[in-house]
Amino acid sequence: MSKFLNNYWYVAANSEELKDRPIARIILGNPIVLFRGKSGKIGALDDRCAHRLTPLSLGRIDGDQLECGYHGWTYDCAGKCVRLPGLETPQKITVKSFPLVEKWGWVFIWMGDPDKADNNTLPDFHVMGEDKWVGDGGMLRVEAHCDLIRDNLLDLTHAKYTHKQTLATEDVDRVPVTAERVGDLVRVKRVMKNIQPSPFFARAVGYTQNIIHRQTTEFTPGCNIVIRLRGNSSPGTSENLKNGFRVLNAMTPETGTSTHYFWWLGRDYNQENTSLTQWMKDANARTFLEDKTVLEGQQRNITSQPTQQPVPSPADKGLTLAAKLTEELLQGEAE
Amino acid sequence: MSKFLNNYWYVAANSEELKDRPIARIILGNPIVLFRGKSGKIGALDDRCAHRLTPLSLGRIDGDQLECGYHGWTYDCAGKCVRLPGLETPQKITVKSFPLVEKWGWVFIWMGDPDKADNNTLPDFHVMGEDKWVGDGGMLRVEAHCDLIRDNLLDLTHAKYTHKQTLATEDVDRVPVTAERVGDLVRVKRVMKNIQPSPFFARAVGYTQNIIHRQTTEFTPGCNIVIRLRGNSSPGTSENLKNGFRVLNAMTPETGTSTHYFWWLGRDYNQENTSLTQWMKDANARTFLEDKTVLEGQQRNITSQPTQQPVPSPADKGLTLAAKLTEELLQGEAE
Amino acid sequence: MSKFLNNYWYVAANSEELKDRPIARIILGNPIVLFRGKSGKIGALDDRCAHRLTPLSLGRIDGDQLECGYHGWTYDCAGKCVRLPGLETPQKITVKSFPLVEKWGWVFIWMGDPDKADNNTLPDFHVMGEDKWVGDGGMLRVEAHCDLIRDNLLDLTHAKYTHKQTLATEDVDRVPVTAERVGDLVRVKRVMKNIQPSPFFARAVGYTQNIIHRQTTEFTPGCNIVIRLRGNSSPGTSENLKNGFRVLNAMTPETGTSTHYFWWLGRDYNQENTSLTQWMKDANARTFLEDKTVLEGQQRNITSQPTQQPVPSPADKGLTLAAKLTEELLQGEAE
Res A165: pLDDT: 81
Domain boundary, last residue among A89, A120, A151: A120
Torsion A142-A143-A145-A151 (CA) sign: negative
Strand partners, C70: none
Helix (H) or strand (E) segment spanning residue C306: none
Residues of chain A with pLDDT > 70, as a percent, come to: 97
Pair (B63, B158) in one structural domain: no
**What is the bridge-based pairing of β-strands A106-110 and A9-14?**
antiparallel
Residue type, A283: A
Regions of chain C where pLDDT drops below 70: 1-2, 89-90, 234-239
Pair (C157, C185) in one structural domain: yes
Shortest Cα–Cα distance, B85 to chain A (Å): 6
Pair (C163, C277) in one structural domain: yes
Closest CA to B258 of B140, B111, B104: B140
Pair (B152, B72) in one structural domain: no
Dist CA A243 CA A249 (whole Å):
20
3-state SS string for A147-213: HHHHHHHHCHHHHHHHCCCCCCCCCCCCCCCEEEEECCEEEEEEEEEEECCCHHHHHHHCCCCCEEE
Pair (B163, B255) in one structural domain: yes
Q: Is A80 on the interface with B (CB under 8 A)?
A: no
Q: Is B46 on the interface with A (CB under 8 A)?
A: no
The chain B residue lying nearest A160, using CA atoms, is B71
List the end-to-end C-alpha distance of chain B, in Å, as a whole number.
Answer: 9
Residue A187 has pLDDT above 90, yes or no: yes
Do residues C321 and C186 lie in contact, with contact meaning Cβ atoms separated by under 8 Å? yes
Work out the mean pLDDT of chain A and round it to a whole number: 94
Contact A71 C311 (CB under 8 A): no
Contact A55 C162 (CB under 8 A): no
CA distances from B69 to A173, A247, B85 (A): 14, 22, 12
Of C293, C305, C312, the CB nearest to A58: C293
Q: What is the CATH number of the domain that holds C46?
A: 2.102.10.10
Shortest Cα–Cα distance, A301 to chain B (Å): 6
Residue A276 inside a domain? The answer is yes
Pair (A73, A101) in one structural domain: yes
Collapsed DSSP state (helix, strand, coil) of residue C243:
strand
Phi-psi region of A124 (alpha: psi -120 to 50; beta: other; left: phi over 0): beta
Contact A301 B55 (CB under 8 A): yes
Res A1: pLDDT: 45
Res A238: pLDDT: 63
Dist CA A62 CA A52 (whole Å):
20
Residue A210 has pLDDT above 80, yes or no: yes
Phi and psi (nearest 5°) for C118? -130, 120
Dist CA B255 CA B268 (whole Å):
35
Pair (A49, A173) in one structural domain: no
Outline where chain C has alpha helix (H).
Answer: 146-154, 158-162, 199-205, 274-304, 317-334
Dist CA C74 CA C84 (whole Å):
7
Closest CA to C297 of A259, A47, A93: A47
Sheet with C243-255, edge to edge strand ranges: C134-142, C258-267, C243-255, C224-233, C211-220, C185-195, C178-182
Contact B51 A310 (CB under 8 A): yes
Neighbouring subunits of C (3+ Cβ pairs under 8 A): A, B
Pair (A20, A136) in one structural domain: no
Contact A70 C305 (CB under 8 A): no
Shortest Cα–Cα distance, B259 to chain A (Å): 19
Do residues A77 and A43 lie in contact, with contact meaning Cβ atoms separated by under 8 Å? yes
CB within 8 A of B248, min separation 6: which ones?
B125, B127, B128, B137, B224, B225, B226, B227, B263, B264, B265, B266
Pair (A109, A237) in one structural domain: no
Q: What is the DSSP letter of C118?
A: -
Of A297, A304, A313, the CB nearest to B54: A297
Contact B313 C50 (CB under 8 A): no
Residue C3 inside a domain? The answer is no
CB within 8 A of A79, min separation 6: which ones?
A43, A45, A46, A94, A95, A96, A97
Residue B292 inside a domain? The answer is yes
Contact A176 B86 (CB under 8 A): yes
Do residues C145 and C46 lie in contact, with contact meaning Cβ atoms separated by under 8 Å? no
Residue C133 inside a domain? The answer is yes
Neighbouring subunits of A (3+ Cβ pairs under 8 A): B, C
Shortest Cα–Cα distance, B181 to chain C (Å): 22
Secondary structure E strands in C234-283? 243-255, 258-267
Q: Is B73 on the interface with A (CB under 8 A)?
A: yes
User: Which chain A residues are Cβ-neighbours of B87 within 8 angstroms?
Assistant: 313-314
Q: Domain count for chain C, please give it.
A: 2
The chain A residue lying nearest B49, using CA atoms, is A310
Contact B52 A151 (CB under 8 A): yes
Res C176: pLDDT: 87
pLDDT tens digits for A142-166? 999 999 999 999 999 999 999 988 8
Do residues B290 and C58 lie in contact, with contact meaning Cβ atoms separated by under 8 Å? no
Collapsed DSSP state (helix, strand, coil) of residue A12:
strand
Contact C313 A71 (CB under 8 A): yes
Specify the higher pLDDT residue, A3 or B218.
Answer: B218
Residue A112 has pLDDT above 70, yes or no: yes
Pair (B112, B131) in one structural domain: no
Residue A177 inside a domain? The answer is yes
Residues of chain A with pLDDT > 90, as a percent, come to: 82
pLDDT tens-place values along chain B, 335 residues long = 468 999 999 999 999 999 999 999 999 999 999 999 999 999 999 999 999 999 999 999 999 999 999 999 999 999 999 999 888 766 799 999 999 999 999 999 999 999 999 999 999 999 999 999 999 999 999 999 999 999 999 999 999 999 988 887 777 788 889 999 999 999 999 999 889 898 999 999 999 899 999 999 999 999 999 999 998 886 666 677 888 999 999 999 999 999 999 999 999 999 999 999 999 999 999 999 999 999 999 999 999 998 989 998 888 999 999 999 999 999 999 98
User: Which chain B residues are Cβ-neighbours of C52 within 8 angstroms?
Assistant: 151, 298, 310
Phi and psi (nearest 5°) for A57? -65, -10
Q: Which domain holds residue B63?
A: 9-120
Asked whether the bond before C222 is cis by omega within 30 degrees of 0, the reply is: yes
Dist CA A69 CA B182 (whole Å):
70
Size of interface A-B (CB pairs under 8 A): 73
pLDDT tens digits for B256-268? 999 999 999 999 9
List the end-to-end C-alpha distance of chain C, in Å, as a whole number.
Answer: 9
CB within 8 A of B290, min separation 6: which ones?
B162, B163, B165, B166
Q: Is B315 on the interface with C (CB under 8 A)?
A: yes
Pair (C129, C114) in one structural domain: no
Do residues B80 and B57 lie in contact, with contact meaning Cβ atoms separated by under 8 Å? no
Of C31, C71, C84, the CB nearest to B158: C71
Question: What pTM was computed for the model?
Answer: 0.93
Shortest Cα–Cα distance, A296 to chain C (Å): 24
Residue C134 inside a domain? The answer is yes
pLDDT tens digits for C166-188? 887 777 788 889 999 999 999 99
Residue B217 inside a domain? The answer is yes
CA distances from B90 to B67, B81, B82 (A): 14, 7, 7
Pair (B169, B64) in one structural domain: no
Dist CA C308 CA C319 (whole Å):
18
Domain boundary, last residue among A91, A120, A149: A120
Res A236: pLDDT: 61
Residue A4 inside a domain? The answer is no
Domain boundary, last residue among C55, C87, C120: C120
Torsion C157-C161-C163-C165 (CA) sign: positive
Q: What is the CATH number of the domain that holds B168?
A: 3.90.380.10
